[in-house]
Structure 1
Amino acid sequence: MDVIRTPRLVLRGWRREDAPVFYAINQDARVHEFLPGPMSMEQVEAFIAFQLALFARTRACYFALETEGALAGFVGLKRHDADSLLPFAPCTDIGWRLAPAYWGKGIAGEAARACLAYGFGELQLEEIVSFTVPENLRSRAVMEKLGMREDTGGGFAHPALPPEHRLSRHVLYRLRR
């Protein structure tokens, strides 16, 4: 299932054979520098199953990102319902995670722009958010290049992490249609 295409990228549904590649991507310390840690194979398989179920329910998810026939990571949209623990839910966030071999080539931005067009066009969303830890300057730069602006609310403590965790504090970016 190809959902979104750009001249050099395919954003598609996940496949069983993506699991080992995505697992390997998540073992790289550079990839999980601003995440709680690497994903186990069980977590990768659960992630893929969740994304497929999310797409079936909302027509959006963190899509598998393919370039030149290779899985590069993911870029996509994730719906957080009102019962989410995020303090600004309900919302839809845009997120990405790429293997370092694909960094610095404009791939995250290209895929994210295509996802924003899909979200605001096809899905008729009014707003899309994104968030990360303040130190993740690469992701923040992508957010700003997309036209997203940092929320002036001072950030938030991520509800999936203990308040004292080094990655608990997050900044929030917003973009309206």
Structure 2
Amino acid sequence: MTILIETPRLIMREFTLDDLDAVYEFSVNEDVTKYTGDLGMVKTKQDAKDVITNVWQAEYKKYGYARYALVYKENNHVIGFCGIKYLPEENRPDVGYRMLPEYWGKGLGLEAVRATMDYANNTLKLENIMAEAVVENIASNKILLKVGLKHVDTYERWGFKLNRYE
């Protein structure tokens, strides 16, 4: 396992097929996916395997980055993801994250996004990183502001009212 990013409480590394059960768990949890455009995308463990191999691992090879497994050091469990993905329609990178509800409210999201932004800017040398958050997702909107992104627009897409940050 190659650690790409490490914080006091978290490790971020590339996803492997060993993470299949964890990816399935956070991908089918409606509390986790209710503010995402991919609710219902993963319904089976085969779907989770396809996301790992055909999305994340393919993006690691193509771009050199993607969403990373978010490992909670205290119990060594994959609790979600945090990372950067390239958005061809925007021609720029996007920071995104999600984690299981039992880990919410502990500052882990901010810790993960802050470390990911530092890694993206200083190690990957990425510029013009953007993010989107559903307006009703107060915690995510606060995280994006706290890491220094600025709110630049609000619009509707995928049936959501989204805030855009740059």
* Corresponding residue of 2:162: 170
- Following TM superposition, by how much is the alpha carbon of 1:29 offset from its aligned partner in structure 2, in angstroms? 2.3
Q: Name the CA distance, whole Å, in 2 between partners of 1:109 and 1:80.
A: 22
Does residue 80 (structure 1) correspond to residue 87 (structure 2)? The answer is yes
Does residue 48 (structure 1) correspond to residue 52 (structure 2)? The answer is yes
Instruction: Give the secondary-structure state (helix, strand or coil) at the position aligned to 1:35.
Output: coil
Instruction: Give the secondary-structure state (helix, strand or coil) at the position aligned to 1:74.
Output: strand
* Corresponding residue of 1:66: 71
- Following TM superposition, by how much is the alpha carbon of 1:66 offset from its aligned partner in structure 2, in angstroms? 0.3
* Corresponding residue of 2:150: 149
Instruction: Give the secondary-structure state (helix, strand or coil) at the position aligned to 1:127.
Output: coil
- Following TM superposition, by how much is the alpha carbon of 1:17 offset from its aligned partner in structure 2, in angstroms? 2.1
Structure 1 letter corresponding to 2:165:
Y
Gaps in structure 1 of 5+ consecutive residues? none
Q: Name the CA distance, whole Å, in 1 between partners of 2:47 and 2:141.
A: 26
What is the Cα-based RMSD across aligned positions, in Å? 1.6
Distance 1:171 1:43, change over 3 A: farther
TM-score normalised by the chain length of structure 2: 0.88
Structure 1 letter corresponding to 2:28:
Q
Q: Alignment identity in percent?
A: 26
Q: Name the CA distance, whole Å, in 1 between partners of 2:47 and 2:164.
A: 25
Instruction: Tell me which protein shows more helix as a share of its residues.
Output: 2
Question: How do residues 103-118 of structure 1 correspond to structure 2 at under 5 angstroms?
Answer: 103-118=104-119
TM-score normalised by the chain length of structure 1: 0.83
- Following TM superposition, by how much is the alpha carbon of 1:123 offset from its aligned partner in structure 2, in angstroms? 1.6
Q: Name the CA distance, whole Å, in 1 between partners of 2:114 and 2:121.
A: 11
* Corresponding residue of 2:21: 20
Structure 2 letter corresponding to 1:44:
A
Q: Name the CA distance, whole Å, in 2 between partners of 1:127 and 1:106.
A: 25
**Residues 100-151 of structure 1, C-alpha deviations (whole Å, 9 max, x = no match):** 1111111111111111111111121222110022111111011111111111
Structure 2 letter corresponding to 1:109:
L
Q: Name the CA distance, whole Å, in 2 between partners of 1:91 and 1:156.
A: 18
Gaps in structure 2 of 5+ consecutive residues? none
- What is the aligned length? 159
- Following TM superposition, by how much is the alpha carbon of 1:5 offset from its aligned partner in structure 2, in angstroms? 1.2
Structure 1 letter corresponding to 2:86:
R
